[in-house]
Structure 1
């Protein structure tokens, strides 16, 4: 057995090289995995009461071969055997084998991206340098996969742990057992300070507003985070066309939305009883129609172009042919221990009918209760809005005009508080439902939050627009939402992160003066875990809803969102780099379920804008002058709505989801993979089977 030599000092790897003594890494037997340098990738934080022999056993399982139920990784005890942390690295062969299991594409020596194969590894470029062949995020995710793959090959007891807490059954997941027994408290990837500093200088510290270092973001933080910031960047600059249209409507159609224009009818225009400038505006296509049709076209083109960009990034980052893996039970899944009929492994089992009962009898009523609270808040908003409106009509002063916005502001604060409370409740409900797979858990959690978010943010606007039919109130409500959200967002995205980083959360503030290198891991572990991108996607989805559903009544929506998102990009980048631990980020092919949510909102926007057109005073005056009955108007509106949906579908069909060059590259990858599989099958056929049969 050959031993890994002590690692060379590496700037930005938390000073681990100076902490670790020689001959402290676990041993490897594969000659190609022997290296003069080991890269620390992941830190495992143990409970304070873990015994040294328990820690030694955990390290032995981490370094054991996968055939023996281990992870095939490298483990280091840190300062000493009693230190409550384990540093984990990955040997070359483990990195390459998991890369093949994930289905990642890598560049061969000719520069073509092809699906990686361990048996054909010599065909790929940079195969001898893992830091160039795999990104830091990919190497750290490989370690996570290895830890989760550990399974007991027989019944055994964890050394130093008494009672049922230390019993491991055959084929049981070792890593999940250690987590549920509270022996492992946390696992997180280590930050690379030098790379992180360089990334920050190019990302949130740059003076230019255009562009982001997406490849560096992907290399350091991984696919899911890189796709979020790519979408945020693409969405932000896609707001420029609707912002220009909104400015044109607002400042070049000065009579937009005024009470005088709203009262104009077709007979007034015919009788020349209005001024020439208003008359010209009325005889042309109104700003409402322009904004409504433009919003429908823009939302469709935007999502289709994003699909193309997403496909290009997926190819560039080697994720276009990811393998769909059989999902292991999530750490929070509980149940009676039994044999999984699919895998034959020992794991918790929980009947589906019990889960459905929990969903139907607990989750659904609680969600309906919160929707009822939304309705209650809406009724309160209407009540105080009526009081303030009557008070303003009685006085007519500037002060009362300003105070008339108070009901909207109060209701916005109420909805935000209710939304924050509901997110915690939704997560607790999803935990209670006890989903086995992580994907099922995320889908149910996302569905709960999306239903409530849509209702909480848009119910009042829909009710005002389609029931009360008061476009002026919709305009006032939407402007209040956008302006207040701007103020809150600037405070939370810029001021608060700076104060927290400056005075509270900086890891360097926790370093000891006598031994800062040894204390670096403890300082990094004191940072809070990254909360994920769920809230960030929700914020963008609400923005997209305001713009696509109701911007026709307030054309400056896109302008305010554009100004907000320019700050949002830098604020989110600053937070993820400075305020949180580095998260694990799996390879991704796109935004996943969020893309479907945005597309669904785009279809709803067609219906919303079509019916808002019906409420326009000019359209009402035209239908009344033409002598159309309400039933006839409804039929025409449905026909127009269906025509717009057909136009939307035609636009989506005309814009391919993939650029031609990406489609060709993907088909080449699929062809080469299929050809390689067929050649391997031929090689495995015995020679005797290839001989002709004797007559």
Structure 2
């Protein structure tokens, strides 16, 4: 294996060249080993326990080990274990994951261990696999460590030191607090170079997506690629919003009148766009949301092919580390593993999870009731006083309700995660789907219930515009302060403290210093984008400046998110992925709902109703016309989605070629 490529990394490698566990395979022997993952142990761990864990890490898989390389750190009594992976382990894991790699003819082909010599860079693991892939493989192998028989953990005398047969070793050690954490190691020079071209650059748009994928992995790269694509896609609706707001209505106003109208439009107090403006914005929102998602799917498939994840393995998944149950034989695989009855899981979901989710939705309704009561009090106070102060108080109920919904959402996020853990799902995919579904249902209800109630029950579009203006302005100010300003200040203090502590520290302490706060994941980031997308696609015909505020926010957001993941949190493990997963479906569903929402908002617009009454159109005919337009727009949306392929022709051809080659290889094996 080659060096890490920078001074600190070379010093770290030199420090760890001795005392690595040995490999039996001749092709895996190397003069230099790349540290990939750090295991931090408790200060109370005995040397015999550490030695036992290292022996498990280095043992072959047929003997219950992980077939990895381990280094004890400073000495046998230290509290760290540095882990790497030999060449054969990485290559076999690449085949198991179903990753595609560049073949000798330049095509991306599903990797086969038997045919490994025909793949490019197969002798150089730092070229053949990305850093994120190598670290994920090490973590995956550590998670698969299982005891082959019931035994007592050496050096642990408590009852918690008993390891059951086929029990997960790392999970048991973490529960017993013998392992503090397992984290991937940063390559400081590569991280510094990535930061220069990512969040430190002066240009507004453009992300080093391939470098992000190589360093942080597919999940992070797909998020930033989507956010970058979303920012570009916001430009057309933002320009349209500016035209509809400032150019179409009141074009001949005097200077003072124009200044007053501008303030009212930004704050949502005017009557909104003209009839033609409403229609243009409604139709544009429907077309925009459709084209945005269809072209994103094409870009997503292109990235998936480029990163070799177009045909990830979908074999029968191993139990997730948090899964527990009674030890038994799996009827599908025939392996000995924990078993948990499906009926018991369904009872937990139906009798506990569903009622608790319903309870939180009830709290959303309670907050909505309080908002309406506060709105009525503020209006009454303003009518009695009529001052600038009372006018400002009209926005207080919206601000208080926004803070309430944000706090409720934070509490619910913790509860949803604990509920999903308690449901005890076997597969990681099932766990993620149930967790995501819970959060999506609540987030949609929490963020849009008030808006739908105002729009379709109260039919108060002036209040709806004011509410949207408050959400866009207040929420973005709060988010930018909490996500950018506060982390920046914290980072400055941390830097000063750590710099002082590291002046005379050995190299091993530099590894310990990477133990920053755990990366919270991209869940909240996707939720924020989904809510934004909902504001824009569902209600922008009422408030055309929505896209303008979102564009400004996301230009700042993408730099803030990049800064946080590089500087403020430990590096996350990232599994290879082929797309955004369930989030892509959620965006598509919102795009479909936007057609219905915009049609009915257009129908409820006072200017549209006045226009129809002046034209002598009855209320019944207006309703029938709105239903007809809604169905026509849905049909157009479906036709557009059908006409635009989900993947470019060249990606489709490459995918079909890989499928054909896989079928040929399978046929040759049978012969």
- Is the TM-score greater than 0.5? yes
Match of 2:294 among 268, 290, 304: 304
1:566–1:12 Cα change, 3 Å: farther
Q: Counterparts of 1:435-584 in structure 2 under 5 Å?
A: 435-504=425-494, 508-509=498-499, 511-525=501-515, 527-584=516-573
Give distance in 1, aligned partners of 2:336 and 2:77.
31
The residue that corresponds to 1:349 in the other structure is 339
Q: Is residue 2:168 matched to residue 1:178? A: no
Q: Counterparts of 1:611-690 in structure 2 under 5 Å?
A: 611-625=600-614, 630-682=619-671
Per the TM alignment, residue 18 of structure 1 is displaced from its structure 2 partner at its CA by: 4.6
Give distance in 2, aligned partners of 1:474 and 1:391.
20
Give distance in 2, aligned partners of 1:356 and 1:342.
20
1:493–1:208 Cα change, 3 Å: same
1:176–1:344 Cα change, 3 Å: farther
More deviation, 161-170/127-136: 161-170
The residue that corresponds to 2:97 in the other structure is 102
Structure 2 SS opposite 1:552? coil
Structure 2 SS opposite 1:585? coil
Per the TM alignment, residue 631 of structure 1 is displaced from its structure 2 partner at its CA by: 4.4
The residue that corresponds to 1:339 in the other structure is 329
Per the TM alignment, residue 438 of structure 1 is displaced from its structure 2 partner at its CA by: 1.8
Answer yes or no: is the 8 Å Cα contact 1:392–1:404 preserved in 2.
yes
Per the TM alignment, residue 9 of structure 1 is displaced from its structure 2 partner at its CA by: 8.9
Per the TM alignment, residue 51 of structure 1 is displaced from its structure 2 partner at its CA by: 1.6
Per the TM alignment, residue 255 of structure 1 is displaced from its structure 2 partner at its CA by: 4.3
1:165–1:476 Cα change, 3 Å: same
Give distance in 1, aligned partners of 2:514 and 2:323.
28
Q: Counterparts of 1:115-154 in structure 2 under 5 Å?
A: 115-154=110-149
Per the TM alignment, residue 504 of structure 1 is displaced from its structure 2 partner at its CA by: 2.6
Per the TM alignment, residue 626 of structure 1 is displaced from its structure 2 partner at its CA by: 5.6
Q: Counterparts of 1:94-493 in structure 2 under 5 Å?
A: 94-162=89-157, 165-255=160-250, 286-493=276-483
Give distance in 2, aligned partners of 1:382 and 1:171.
57
Match of 1:89 among 84, 89, 100: 84
The size of the alignment, in residue pairs, is: 651
Answer yes or no: is the 8 Å Cα contact 1:200–1:577 preserved in 2.
yes
Give distance in 1, aligned partners of 2:524 and 2:583.
12
The residue that corresponds to 2:52 in the other structure is 57
Structure 2 unaligned regions, length at least 5 = 254-272
Give distance in 1, aligned partners of 2:406 and 2:11.
43
Give distance in 2, aligned partners of 1:555 and 1:543.
13
1:505–1:542 Cα change, 3 Å: farther
**Residue deviations 1:23-68, cap 9 Å, x none?**
x000111111111110000011222322211111111111111121
Per the TM alignment, residue 160 of structure 1 is displaced from its structure 2 partner at its CA by: 2.2
Answer yes or no: is the 8 Å Cα contact 1:311–1:320 preserved in 2.
yes
The residue that corresponds to 1:688 in the other structure is none
Answer yes or no: is the 8 Å Cα contact 1:224–1:587 preserved in 2.
yes
Larger radius of gyration: 1
Structure 1 SS opposite 2:9? coil
Answer yes or no: is the 8 Å Cα contact 1:20–1:78 preserved in 2.
yes
Give distance in 2, aligned partners of 1:507 and 1:453.
38
Structure 1 SS opposite 2:82? strand
1:133–1:152 Cα change, 3 Å: same
1:531–1:621 Cα change, 3 Å: same
Structure 1 unaligned regions, length at least 5 = 259-280, 683-695
Match of 2:12 among 1, 16, 29: 16
Give distance in 2, aligned partners of 1:581 and 1:553.
42
1:82–1:194 Cα change, 3 Å: same
Give distance in 1, aligned partners of 2:129 and 2:604.
57
1:436–1:167 Cα change, 3 Å: same
Per the TM alignment, residue 653 of structure 1 is displaced from its structure 2 partner at its CA by: 0.6
The residue that corresponds to 2:596 in the other structure is 607
Match of 1:27 among 8, 15, 22: 22
Per the TM alignment, residue 623 of structure 1 is displaced from its structure 2 partner at its CA by: 4.0
Per the TM alignment, residue 380 of structure 1 is displaced from its structure 2 partner at its CA by: 1.4
Give distance in 2, aligned partners of 1:508 and 1:163.
36
**Residue deviations 1:241-285, cap 9 Å, x none?**
0001000101112249x9xxxxxxxxxxxxxxxxxxxxxx96xx6
Answer yes or no: is the 8 Å Cα contact 2:144–2:168 preserved in 1.
yes
Give distance in 1, aligned partners of 2:64 and 2:211.
35
Give distance in 1, aligned partners of 2:499 and 2:84.
27
Answer yes or no: is the 8 Å Cα contact 1:42–1:143 preserved in 2.
yes
The residue that corresponds to 1:692 in the other structure is none
Structure 2 SS opposite 1:28? coil
Give distance in 2, aligned partners of 1:249 and 1:104.
48
Per the TM alignment, residue 632 of structure 1 is displaced from its structure 2 partner at its CA by: 4.3
Per the TM alignment, residue 394 of structure 1 is displaced from its structure 2 partner at its CA by: 3.8
Per the TM alignment, residue 140 of structure 1 is displaced from its structure 2 partner at its CA by: 0.6
The residue that corresponds to 1:271 in the other structure is none
Structure 1 SS opposite 2:513? helix
